[in-house]
Structure 1
Amino acid sequence: MASLMTCSRTSGFLGGKLILKVSFPLFILQNNTNNNIKGGCIVVIAALLVILLMILILPLVNRYIEHNIEYFLFSMGVAAAFVSGVFSYDLIIHIFKNHLLYLVTVAVFLSGLLFEIFKDKFKTLIEITIARIPLKVFVFLVIVILGLTASIITAIIASIILVEIIHLLPLKHKDKVVITVIASLSIGMGAALTPIGEPLATIATSKLNESFLYLFTTLGIYIIPAVLALGFLGLLYINKLEKNSLIIEENYVEEAEEIKKIERFQFIFIQAFKIFVFILALELLGAGFKPVIDNYIIHLDSRLLYWINVTSAVLDNATLAAAEISPHMTTEQIRAILMGLLISGGMLIPGNIPNIISAGKLNIKSREWALVGIPLSLIGLIIYFIVLFVI
């Protein structure tokens, strides 16, 4: 890699807290005609593309990797950072100095612990509530409240609560799937309003070196109406079922067994640790892919960025956000990237944390999710493309 270190560029990590002089091979392609250096740069770029393809494909074809995505992404992040020549002791130290890394982890752990302590009272409360108010109103409130509070209680805890509620609903499995997909999209979007809610918001806030409420002020005007609209969509769906007399009681042994898993202290601890590893992985990925982003992505038109991020349907949106977002981007570009990621994340199970938790605990298959998630997210993408770029 010594031949690649001839072109240095000042780079900021973790919201500008780290200043490193690092080599970005892509710049050499533009400024140095030495054939050996060019050849080395091409190798580096090819290696980064291979890493990106591995991130996109392997979780889909290997169940073990899918279930251990955090550790897989961490290894890919380390590889990308090494390939780009940015891996260093200073980088690691400054990543661990990121207070959001610990804030999110502790929030996830404490929220899960509180839920574990009060879960029996919660179940009783849900059963009483369902018996006293119309089911369609209850579903509307669940979708909206979990969506709007996910940024405080975290997307993981909101998803765990959703699983408990969905389990108690007097619906057929296929109808539970519909409500779960709608609610998970609501949670995924709402959680992005603060850095606590989900890794995407944490990474975006950190990399842009912005305040705690930056995403709320930047995206709130788009996300809050979307959460309300999703709640209304759930209400309409239940209303249709009630008119057709399709509300029945159906409980699955598989669901009951899976739900037991989320009510264990061990699960709470493991989930908090995985979030910690997840954020480390995303920081490393962001550093490793920075050369590609700085030379190709940040110069693209915002409208193109919006649609490129449909790829978040097959990869957790926080991973793409870590790779794409740069402090050099305009507010319009950042808004396009984040909205594209958030909406597309509802298409398939791997696209977002709420999807993964809910599908796993409620025994929802990939095809079942896709039949609802793809059309729902595509409609959302079209609507928000018009709102963001046409009106």
Structure 2
Amino acid sequence: MAGDSDVPENNLFCVNCAKPANLQCPKCMNLKLPRAGSAFCSQECFKSSWSSHKSVHLKAKLSSPDTQNSGSLSEGWLYCLKSGQAWTPKLPYFDWTGSLRPSPISKKQIVPDHIDKPDWADDGIPKIEPNSVLQYTVEVKTPYQIERMRETCHIAREVLDAAARIIQPGVTTDEIDRVVHETTIAAGGYPSPLNYNFFPKSCCTSVNEVICHGIPDARKLEDGDIVNVDVSVYYKGVHADLNETYFVGNVDEESCQLVKCTYECLEKAISIVKPGVRFREIGEVISRHASMSGFSVARSYCGHGIGELFHCAPNIPHYARNKAVGVIKAGQTFTIEPMINAGVWRDRMWPDGWTDVTTDGKRSAQFEHTLLVTDTGVEVLTGRLQTSPNVFPWLNS
């Protein structure tokens, strides 16, 4: 799941660039949201991050009992999701960028009582994560933490592989979510996205023009679609995070090249990870390969630190000339998860506050791994297994 970091209230940092901040989003202040998620260092940073930041306001409204019981725009959108309608005279107009539309979503999956749960499982609100010192300090993991992360990442890989095996025309993304949920629970884990900031499902499924954070629903996958499945697992007190983009039936050549290029972007980025490399160099490598292939890099979301927290420092931008600070050190764990667009890099948020799409309606692909920095290089904790399904033709050549 793509990251965006918060910072502790007594030491505010810009949510866009991580510099010291003394400005606050006025809408967040009106909604009485935590200062840590609404601080900016300048008007320029505030404006540049508005398209993604405004989703925070909608999520707050959706979680408010007053909003849910009123005839508001948010209630209209909830109705839209439940009924699968894109627009009626009773609902607000939205300028859809591509052909995809929301479909009905099923009830939230149940997690058995014996499963260890993160602190947002019941009420949707992360409590430890936003105010942790690890939002601006990159943790070097202990051997015990690393051991647990290896185990959790192995489970997450098996969960994603289970989802990959059922992808074909006619399958709904809700069915993919069911497989992810049931496989995670069977392994003794908790699906990290479930109820995280009120996200309603156990994984993200991003189809065609959706860049990330698509909500699984009743729409059937169609021949020629591409779909990204983003899986995160919480087990033994630590998180794992990975995703892959899959072909649905017969896919056009441009989409094939987009997915292959995105896979290569991640592989090339991983290849430079070792102690002493600057975090900002990762984006340079990804951007160079994407642009040489005629594609663009989405900028609103980044890779992130991971461990006992789902999202924390460091931020890993995937685009060139980024301002990420810091140098990679052995023992750090983080994700790299480039989102590559067939057209322009700019994005737009659906009114559900989660589904992020390309502004031109062209397709987007993504791949992600959780990584451990070693003394000499990197270990891909979520790497493919011998039992992983053979779904990418370029791996056979």
Pair in the same fold by TM > 0.5 = no
The structure that has the greater radius of gyration is 1
Higher relative contact order (CA 8 A, sep 6+): 1
Q: Which has the higher strand share?
A: 2
Question: TM-score, normalised on structure 2?
Answer: 0.24
Q: TM-score, normalised by structure 1?
A: 0.24
More helix by share: 1
